[in-house]
Amino acid sequence: MPSQHVNVVETINTYLRQASTPTTTTAAINKSVPCALLTAGFHTGRRTVARFVEIATGSKTGKEIPVSLDEDNSTDTQDEEAEEEDLEVTEVKGLLRAAEIFEIDVDCNVREWIPERPTENKEETKRWCVCIVLVRREQQL
């Protein structure tokens, strides 16, 4: 549900923040980085899933994209999207990082996550889902 994307990101961030504050007992037992595993089918469309990935990680691909302040990458489409983006989205956008993101199908074939696959028809799309391992932005996995 696109209307809940911000809430889901906030919730994940809250739980990961709480989990990353180690107590003496947990620090001695578990030294791994807390993460959230999300899976999403494409029944609502790739665009909806890509929008969630963009809100959570700051990028539709989920990968870190260095942005140069000298470059002007703005397009009419980006300007329209920025105008539509409300304050709620702006506050949580990019809080998380995709430590791993990929697509997997019903036969366990794995491929790279791509926000848009124009040549893929609806039947093919239904066979796939995206898997994302999310961590808080400042943490490494």
Q: In a 10 Å sphere around its CB, with 0-12 CB exposed, 13-18 middle and 19+ buried, how is residue 14 labelled?
A: exposed
Task: Report pLDDT for 82.
Answer: 53
DSSP β-bridge partners for residue 41: 129
| pTM value > 0.85 | no
Q: What is the pLDDT along the chain (141 residues), one digit of tens a residue?
A: 878 889 889 999 988 887 766 654 555 555 678 899 999 998 888 899 999 999 999 888 877 654 433 344 444 455 455 555 688 888 888 889 999 999 999 899 999 999 999 998 888 888 999 999 999 887 555
Question: How far apart, in whole angstroms, are the C-alpha atoms of residue 134 and residue 122?
Answer: 27
